[in-house]
């Protein structure tokens, strides 16, 4: 009886040894998996950082400010181009950010008695573009791209007749002179538009007019001459605003 009990004790002790080894082995495998899993996200994160696009060294935009659009054309020029101006200081366009866009307009009707009346409208608008380092695009390049769009927009005026486009020499770095005729309010209006770019700023100036009560509409060449003179002042105002 005593011998049998001793034998049973030895069998149970031997049986317990492989169980402990198995448990220890499983525990070790489990720890190994956790460590391996923890390494993977770190490696992926490192790879993502390496693949992410890096900001480029893009030159800052030349012009950081825009002029007050209503001061961009001199009072003397306004008086010449828009006689009997309703609001000599101009009417500013609405904008939520005066550092990137601005506009102003003037209009007036000059009564010449039995010779009829002459109506004139002048409008100038500015668009300024910042450099985008994250995209690798300079303010100048953005302005060049949008200058082309503004030219196309001016050329695409609905109902325009006798469209004429030519370079506007001496106005900014790029400039187009766009002229056409347009019938509205039963009158024939003549239009002269200058779209120009000075570095990272695009300027669009439109000058138009017509004759009422038997008066002849203005000559297209006269309107274009006035538009070019006003556009030159608008370009100069950008430089002055950034001194």
pLDDT of residue 210: 96
In a domain, 149, yes or no: yes
Mean pLDDT of 100-121: 95
In a domain, 227, yes or no: yes
**CATH code for the domain of 157:** 3.40.1000
Mean pLDDT of the chain: 84
Q: What is the largest CA-CA distance in the chain?
A: 146
pLDDT of residue 28: 42
pLDDT tens string 24-49: 444 444 444 444 444 544 444 555 55
* pTM for the model: 0.77
Percent of the chain at pLDDT > 90 equals: 70
pLDDT of residue 167: 97
pLDDT of residue 54: 54
> Same domain, yes or no, for 105 and 15?
no
pLDDT of residue 53: 54
> Same domain, yes or no, for 164 and 232?
yes
In a domain, 106, yes or no: yes
pLDDT at residue 203 above 80?
Answer: yes
Mean pLDDT of 187-216: 96
- CA dist 18 and 11 (Å) reads 12
> Same domain, yes or no, for 40 and 146?
no
> Same domain, yes or no, for 91 and 134?
yes
> Same domain, yes or no, for 21 and 89?
no
Q: How far is CA 195 from CA 100, 126, 153, 212, 220, in A?
A: 17, 10, 10, 28, 17
Q: Which of 33-37, 114-118, 188-192 has the highest mean pLDDT?
A: 188-192
The pLDDT-based confidence of 57 (bands split at 50, 70, 90) is: confident
> Same domain, yes or no, for 92 and 39?
no
In a domain, 62, yes or no: no
Q: How far is CA 178 from the centre of its chain?
A: 22
> Same domain, yes or no, for 38 and 146?
no
Mean pLDDT of 179-195: 94
In a domain, 22, yes or no: yes
The pLDDT-based confidence of 52 (bands split at 50, 70, 90) is: low
> Same domain, yes or no, for 107 and 216?
yes
- CA dist 195 and 203 (Å) reads 6
pLDDT tens string 132-166: 988 899 999 999 999 999 999 999 999 999 999 99
Q: Which domain holds residue 165?
A: 69-241
> Same domain, yes or no, for 172 and 143?
yes
In a domain, 64, yes or no: no
Phi-psi region of 158 (alpha: psi -120 to 50; beta: other; left: phi over 0): beta
Number of structural domains in the chain: 2
pLDDT of residue 108: 97
> Same domain, yes or no, for 36 and 100?
no
Mean pLDDT of 101-129: 96
Q: Higher-confidence residue: 173 or 14? A: 173
> Same domain, yes or no, for 104 and 36?
no
In a domain, 135, yes or no: yes
Mean pLDDT of 157-177: 96
In a domain, 14, yes or no: yes
The pLDDT-based confidence of 51 (bands split at 50, 70, 90) is: low
pLDDT of residue 114: 87
Mean pLDDT of 63-80: 97
pLDDT tens string 58-70: 889 999 999 999 9
> Same domain, yes or no, for 74 and 186?
yes
């Amino acid at each position: 009886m005593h011998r049998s009990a001793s034998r049973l004790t030895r069998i149970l002790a031997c049986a317990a040894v492989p169980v402990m080894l198995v448990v220890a082995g499983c525990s070790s495998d489990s720890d190994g998996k956790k460590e391996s899993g923890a390494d993977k996200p770190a490696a992926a994160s490192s790879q993502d950082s390496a693949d992410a696009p890096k900001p480029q060294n893009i030159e800052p935009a030349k012009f950081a400010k825009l002029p007050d659009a209503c001061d961009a054309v001199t009072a003397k020029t306004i008086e010449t181009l828009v006689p009997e101006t309703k609001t000599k200081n101009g009417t500013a366009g609405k904008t939520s950010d005066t550092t990137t866009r601005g506009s102003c307009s003037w209009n007036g009707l000059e009564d010449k008695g039995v010779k009829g009346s002459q109506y004139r409208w002048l409008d100038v608008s500015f668009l300024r573009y910042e450099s985008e380092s994250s995209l690798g695009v300079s303010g100048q390049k953005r302005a060049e791209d949008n200058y082309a769009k503004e030219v196309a927009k001016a050329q695409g005026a609905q109902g325009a007749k006798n469209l004429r486009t030519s370079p506007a020499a001496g106005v900014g770095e790029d400039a187009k002179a766009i002229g056409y005729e347009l019938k509205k309010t039963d009158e024939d209006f003549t239009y002269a538009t200058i779209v120009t770019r000075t570095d990272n700023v695009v300027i669009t100036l439109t000058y138009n007019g017509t004759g009422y009560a038997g008066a002849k509409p203005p000559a297209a060449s006269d309107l274009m001459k006035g538009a070019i003179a006003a556009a030159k002042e608008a370009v100069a105002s950008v430089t002055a605003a950034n001194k």
